[in-house]
Amino acid sequence: MTEEIDLDELDVESDDEDTPNRGEWFWRGEGDPADEPGATGSDSSYAPSVDPATSDSGEASGDGTDSGDVSSDPIPHVPGKNKDKPVGIPKESGGAGAEPATGGDSNGAVAPPEEASGPHGGGIDDMTLALTYQAMKAVTEPLLVVQDAKQWSDWVGIVGEVEAHIINKFQRDHNIDVDFFSGSGQSAAERLADIDDRSMFYAERMVVVGLPSEEELAERVGWEFIPLPEAAEKADWELSDDGD
């Protein structure tokens, strides 16, 4: 039967010297940076190789010898003028960037953006339509009305003198998805007044469709008003008895 061997008792000789690992002096606080692999003056393979037949300027010296100690020289490179700036941030935003910004000249200057008339860098939209909550309850198919209105309106919303959760429930019940609606603690007029030239819902034509008795709402905020019966006739919407 083969005897068991205690590996801890084996006397193994090795020619390897106990040398510090690369960077150990920094991470573990042990050793000397001058003794680690790749340090200046070391014979380690980590040291960068430099052709001794060339000088710092990249030209060979006349006698074929170095003009200085190449082992202490940095690796040759062409520093960028934005090398002290954050990498990955576009140059026009104050970073070093990755490549010259599109539209810039050979010196990295960026051409100014074209002027735009819209609130978010584009042209102003054509039409924003606000349907009142009372008007939406007066049509037989609210979902059909919203879907139809989105075909000829850039933005469609619902506003009313009710709490936001009531409008939310109305949308869920009828599977409706609109762009904006009046919120809690905010009247219909306040919500419409918020849609100014700084709002993403701003358009050249701002229209409220509501019951005839709600015309005063549009007048207060300077919106165009179209009575629901007139809009329903033009768009072929079917009204309930309340709408009539």
- pLDDT tens, position by position, 8-55: 555 555 555 566 665 655 556 666 666 656 555 444 444 444 454 544
Six token digits for residue 102: 């599109």
Residues 218 and 140: beta-carbon distance below 8 Å: no
Answer whether 0.85 is exceeded by the pTM: no
CA distance 167 to 135: 12
pLDDT score recorded for residue 241: 74
| End-to-end Cα, the chain, rounded Å | 106
At residue 202's C-alpha, the angle toward residues 152 and 148, to 5°, is 20
- pLDDT tens, position by position, 93-136: 667 665 444 444 555 554 544 444 555 556 788 999 999 999 99
Range from 41-45, 157-161, 224-228, 239-243 carrying the lowest mean pLDDT = 41-45
Six token digits for residue 134: 């009372």
Distances (CA, A) of 126 to 11, 90, 176: 89, 34, 22
At residue 170's C-alpha, the angle toward residues 166 and 176, to 5°, is 135
For domain 127-235, give the CATH number. 3.40.50
Residues 118 and 196: beta-carbon distance below 8 Å: no
Provide mean pLDDT across the span 200-209: 95
* 138 phi, psi to nearest 5 deg: -95, 0
The answer for residues whose C-beta is within 8 angstroms of residue 71's C-beta and 6 or more apart is 40, 41, 47, 50
Provide mean pLDDT across the span 59-74: 51
DSSP assignment of the chain equals -PPP--GGG----------PPTTHHHHTS-S-TTTSTT-TT---TTSPP--TTB-TTS-B-TTSS-SS-GGGSPPP----TTTTSPTTS-GGGTS--SSPPTT--TT-PPPPPPP--STTSSPPEEEEEEEEHHHHHTBS-HHHHHHHHHHH-SEEEEE-SS-HHHHHHHHHHTT---SEE--TT--HHHHHHH-STTSTT-EEEEEEEE-GGGHHHHHHHT-EEEEHHHHHHHHTPPB-TTT-
Range from 27-36, 146-155, 187-196 carrying the lowest mean pLDDT = 27-36
Q: Residue type for 126, please?
A: D
